[in-house]
Structure 1
Amino acid sequence: MAKFVLAGKTDCPHYAKAELLADSLQRSLPNFRIHKISILPDEWKEWLEVTCSRNGWKHEQSPLIWRELVAQGGKGMLLGGFSDFLEHCQGYYSITSDMPTDIMLSVAAENLETKMNLIVEEQHRASLIKPLCIWISSALSPTCHFLIPSLLSAEVFPHVSAINLHLLDLDGSKEELQQLRMETEDLALRLLHQVTIQTDLGQAFQGADVILLLDECWSDDSDTENEDEEKKKKRVKGISDRYREYGQLIDSRANKEVKVIVSGDSCANLRCSLLLDNARSIDSHQFITMATQLENEARAVIAKKLKVKTSDITDVIVWGNISGSFYIDLQRAKVFNYDGAIKGPAFFSQPIQKILHDRKWLQTDFQELVGCQRAAVASKSGRAAAMSLANGILAVLKAWNGICGPDEVFSVGVLCPGFYGLPAGIVLSVPVTFTDGKWSVLSDVTVGDELKERLQLSARELKEEKE
C-alpha cells in the first residue's frame, strides 16, 4: 500500500494542485492512500522547521510531501514539493496534472476559507464545554496519588461532562508536578479535559468549583508529640498564615458555590475556621473538614471486636475536634451480618450498643484504640494512612453531589451556629446528612451531659488553638 502525506499552507496554489492530483489517484488506485495536513499561513514556517528537524529533512517551500513506509515502519521518505510529487506520479502511475492557474488560486482560497471555518467551529464547540474546575493543594502527597484515578469519574461527579484539574504544591518541584501531570493524562480518563500544575499562589483557586486541601503541618521536626511549646507555636503559626492566605484567595477567585474540603491529621478544625474567617463572601456551608477517616477507623475497631467486616458497621458519629479531643458516639451505630443469638436477612441490622455490653471498654479502650489506629497503620506502612484519607474524601464528595441515601449519616467539621448548646463561631465535627447537594445537621440525636462536657472541652481546646 502507498500512503502519502501532503502538508502545505492553506492558501498555497501548489498545495491545492497537489491535493487534487492526490484525490484523483486515490479514486483510481485501490491501494493508494492520502493524508492531508492544512496549516495556516502564519503557522507554516514554524511547523515546517519543527517537522524537518524531527525527521532530518531539508525543505523550504509549500507544500511538503512525503511517503509513509507503511509496510516497513520507521520514519517517512521525503519526496519534496509539488514538482517532485508530480514527477513521481508521472513515473509510477502515468498520471499528470494540467490544472489552470485560475483554478489553482480558486481552490487555494477555498482551502483557506474552509480551514478558518473549521477553526471557528472548534472554538465555538470548546466554548460550549464548561469543565468543572478542581484544585488540589499538596498535590505531591501520597493521598493525591490515590485520589486522582477515582476522583475524575462519573461516580463522583454524575452530572459533569468535563473536568479541569489544577495541581498545586507550594513545597514541591515543577519536575515532580510535571511527572504527576503526565501520569494523570496517561490514565485516559473520560472526564479529564485539562491538567495544569502550579508551584505558587499566582493563579491559585481561580474559577474553582471544588477545592481539596491536603496540606499537613509544615514542621522540620517530625516528632510533633514531643516538641516544645515554642516549636508548636511556630508550627501552628505556619499553618495559620498559609490558611489565612488561602481563605483570601478563595474569597476573591473561586466561584461563590465552591465546595471546599479540608483534610489531614493536623489542626483540621483550625484550618477550616481560618478559611471561613477570610472568605466571608462565600457561604459557610460551602466549607467542611473531614472526620470520615476517624469514622472508618472506629468502624474497623468495632468490626474487629464483633468479628464482622468493616462495611457491616454503619452510622458511627464523630464529635468534637478531629485533630484533638474527639468523641466516638455509637448511639445510632448498627451492625449487619452479626453472628449472634438473633439472625436475619442481609438487610437486617442490630444496634451496636445492645450487642456490646462492655461499657467500660466502650468508654476507655475503644476511644483510645481509635486514636491509635492511624498511628498503627503509619508505623507499619512507613507513611500516613493516605489510602484511607482519599477514600474518605471520595465518600464525602459523592454525598455532597447527591450520591447517597437521605438517611446516611456523615461526621464532618462545620461552622457551629450555636446548636447543641455549643458556642457559636467554631468548627466542630457533628453528624450531618446530605440532601440535594446541601448538608444539614442531624437533629435526631441525644446529646447527654457526658457528651456536652466532652464537646465543651473540644470547644475550649479549639478556642485556645485559634487564639
Structure 2
Amino acid sequence: MTTELMKTVAQENLGAHIEKELEEEALKGLINPLQVWITSASAPACYNLIPILTSGEVFGPHMEISINLFDNKQAEEKLTSLVKEAQDLASPFLRSVSLCTQAEEAFRQAHVIIFLDDHVDKEVYSLEDCIRSRATLCHLYGSLIEKNAHDSVRIIVGGKTFVNLKTSLLMRYAPNFAHNIIAVALGVEGKAKAELARKLKTTPSCIKDVIIWGNISGNNYVDLRKAKVYRYESAVWGPPHYSRPVLSLIFDSEWVNREFVESLKKFTATGRQFGGILAAHSIATTLKYWYHGSPPGEIVSLGVLSEGQFGIPEGIVFSMPVKFENGTWVVLTDLEDIEISEKIMTRMTSDLIQEKLVALGELINFQPYQSEYKALFSGLMPDDEKDLILSDGMSVK
C-alpha cells in the first residue's frame, strides 16, 4: 500500500470515527438522565451518599444520573465545593451535578428526591415548637413536589429525627405522590445487626430478618423472633443457605433484655451514633432495593403508611416488614408468629399519633407515652423502661 493510499484510508477512518462519536453524543443527548435531588445537601450524609449514587450500583449500570444539591443560601459555598468534588469523581454514571438555593426551583422534573435531616432556621424552645417547625418545612416541600416533580417521582426520607413524622407530612402535602413516599429504617436495622454480630462473634452481613417496628427515630420495637444467622461457626455447620435462629444462639438473656435494648434506644433517642456513612448507606440500599428488588426471601424494614396491617392504626407512617419487587414494596402480612402485644403497640403508636396532631396544630401540648421521648429533643438517655424488645411476656426461647 502506497503512502498516499495509507493517508487516504487513515483520513477515512478518522472521519468515520468522528462521525460515530457525534452519533453517540447525539443519542446520549436523547436519553434523559435520572434527575436525583438531595435536600439539606450540606449535611454530612450527602458527602457520603454521592459516591454511592454515582457508582452505578444503585440505579444500574445503564442509567446516567444528574444530581441536584438543594439547601439554603447560607450553605451555597459548601455546596459549590461539593459540586466540584462530585465532578472530580469523573464517574461515567454522572451526567451532571448542580446546586440549588432557590426554593421555587427545587425538584424540577425530579425522578428521585432524597430528604436528609432538615435545617430549622428559627430557634426553637420546646419539643412542640420543634415538631411544628417540621410541618412548615414539609408544607413547603410538599407544594414544590406537587408543582415541579416528575409524575413518577420516588421520595425517600432518611435522617435521625422525626423520620416518620416528616414522611407522614410529605404524604399530606404532596397527596398525588403519597403512594411513592417511604421512610428509611435500615439504619436502625443495621445497628441491631452489628450489635448482635459483636455478641455472636460473626459479621453483621451474616444476620438477616431483624424487623424494626414503629417509630424509626423514636419509640420502636426491634423484633428478633425471625432473625437468623448464616455461616455461623459452631459445632453445627451447613451449606451457605443454612441458617440458625439468632435467639437460639444467645444464651445471655440479660444481655438481650438490657444491654442490647439500651444500646439501640440510645441510638434512636439521641442519634449521636447515626453518622453520615450509615445514613448514606441505608438510603442508597433502600433505593437499590426499590429499583431492583430486595434479596429473595429476606425481610426488609421500611416506614410506610399503615392500612391497618398487624393491628397498626390506619393513617400513620409505621416501620414494618416488607419486601421489594417489581419497582415497589409489599408488606409481609403473611408472616407467622409476629403478633405485637397491645402494650407495645400502644407504646409505639401513641407518640406517632400525637406528633402528627401537634404538627398540624390540633394538639397544643405533647404528652409522651414514656418520659424518655423527651430524650429525642434533649439528647439525654433515660434510665428506665429498658425492656422494649422482649417485654410483655416475650422471652428468649
TM-score by length of 1: 0.67
Is 1:448 the equivalent of 2:339?
Answer: yes
Aligned with 2:292: secondary structure? coil
Q: 2:67 aligned to 165, 172, 182, which one?
A: 165
Partner of 2:49: 147
Q: 2:305 aligned to 402, 412, 415, which one?
A: 415
Aligned-pair Cα RMSD in Å: 2.8
Q: Structure 1 residues 343 and 164 mapped into 2: Cα distance closer, same or farther (>3 Å)?
A: same
Is 1:432 the equivalent of 2:322?
Answer: yes
CA deviation after TM superposition for structure 1 residue 342, in Å: 1.7
CA deviation after TM superposition for structure 1 residue 306, in Å: 1.0
Letter in 2 for 1:342: V
Amino-acid identity (%): 36
Q: 1:250 aligned to 142, 145, 162, which one?
A: 145
CA deviation after TM superposition for structure 1 residue 220, in Å: 7.8
The whole-number CA distance in structure 2 between the counterparts of 1:369 and 1:184 is: 35
Partner of 1:37: none
Aligned with 1:341: secondary structure? coil
Deviations 1:127-180, CA, capped at 9 Å, x for gaps = 512110000011111111111011123211116432111000126432221111
Deviations 1:1-48, CA, capped at 9 Å, x for gaps = xxxxxxxxxxxxxxxxxxxxxxxxxx9xx9xxxxxxxxxxxxxxxxxx
Partner of 2:82: 180
CA deviation after TM superposition for structure 1 residue 251, in Å: 1.8
Q: Structure 1 residues 462 and 378 mapped into 2: Cα distance closer, same or farther (>3 Å)?
A: closer
Q: Is the 8 A contact 1:406 1:435 kept in 2?
A: no
The whole-number CA distance in structure 1 between the counterparts of 2:63 and 2:233 is: 45
CA deviation after TM superposition for structure 1 residue 244, in Å: 1.5
Is 1:272 the equivalent of 2:171?
Answer: no
CA deviation after TM superposition for structure 1 residue 367, in Å: 1.7
CA deviation after TM superposition for structure 1 residue 445, in Å: 3.9
TM-score by length of 2: 0.79
Select the structure of larger CA radius of gyration: 1
Letter in 2 for 1:132: L
CA deviation after TM superposition for structure 1 residue 455, in Å: 2.5
The whole-number CA distance in structure 2 between the counterparts of 1:449 and 1:126 is: 52
Greater relative contact order (Cα 8 A, min sep 6): structure 1 or 2? 2
The whole-number CA distance in structure 2 between the counterparts of 1:374 and 1:273 is: 19
Q: 2:98 aligned to 172, 196, 199, which one?
A: 196
Q: 1:208 aligned to 93, 103, 110, which one?
A: 110
Q: Is the 8 A contact 1:327 1:367 kept in 2?
A: no
Unaligned runs of 5+ in 2: 8-18, 358-397
Partner of 2:384: none
Partner of 1:390: 280
The whole-number CA distance in structure 2 between the counterparts of 1:437 and 1:358 is: 41
Letter in 1 for 2:245: P
Letter in 2 for 1:135: W
Deviations 1:195-227, CA, capped at 9 Å, x for gaps = 110112121111111111012463888xxxxx9
Letter in 2 for 1:406: P
The whole-number CA distance in structure 1 between the counterparts of 2:225 and 2:196 is: 14
Partner of 1:224: none
Q: Structure 1 residues 242 and 220 mapped into 2: Cα distance closer, same or farther (>3 Å)?
A: closer
Q: Structure 1 residues 168 and 217 mapped into 2: Cα distance closer, same or farther (>3 Å)?
A: closer
Deviations 1:350-408, CA, capped at 9 Å, x for gaps = 011222244443334322212234789947xxxx5110111111111111111532322
Q: Is the 8 A contact 1:217 1:239 kept in 2?
A: no
Is 1:128 the equivalent of 2:30?
Answer: yes
Q: Is the 8 A contact 1:285 1:439 kept in 2?
A: no
The within-5 A match list for 1:275-294 is: 275-282=170-177, 284-294=178-188
Letter in 2 for 1:446: D
The whole-number CA distance in structure 1 between the counterparts of 2:127 and 2:212 is: 25
The whole-number CA distance in structure 1 between the counterparts of 2:202 and 2:79 is: 41
Q: Is the 8 A contact 1:131 1:162 kept in 2?
A: yes
Q: 1:319 aligned to 198, 213, 216, which one?
A: 213
CA deviation after TM superposition for structure 1 residue 124, in Å: 5.4
The whole-number CA distance in structure 2 between the counterparts of 1:353 and 1:155 is: 33
Aligned with 2:117: secondary structure? coil
Partner of 2:395: none
The whole-number CA distance in structure 2 between the counterparts of 1:349 and 1:122 is: 49
Q: Structure 1 residues 343 and 423 mapped into 2: Cα distance closer, same or farther (>3 Å)?
A: same
Q: Is the 8 A contact 1:337 1:343 kept in 2?
A: yes
Partner of 1:458: 348
Q: Is the 8 A contact 1:207 1:253 kept in 2?
A: yes
Deviations 1:289-311, CA, capped at 9 Å, x for gaps = 11100000000111111111111
CA deviation after TM superposition for structure 1 residue 412, in Å: 1.0
Aligned with 1:281: secondary structure? helix
Aligned with 2:126: secondary structure? helix
Is 1:328 the equivalent of 2:235?
Answer: no
Q: Structure 1 residues 317 and 449 mapped into 2: Cα distance closer, same or farther (>3 Å)?
A: closer
Q: 1:302 aligned to 188, 192, 196, which one?
A: 196
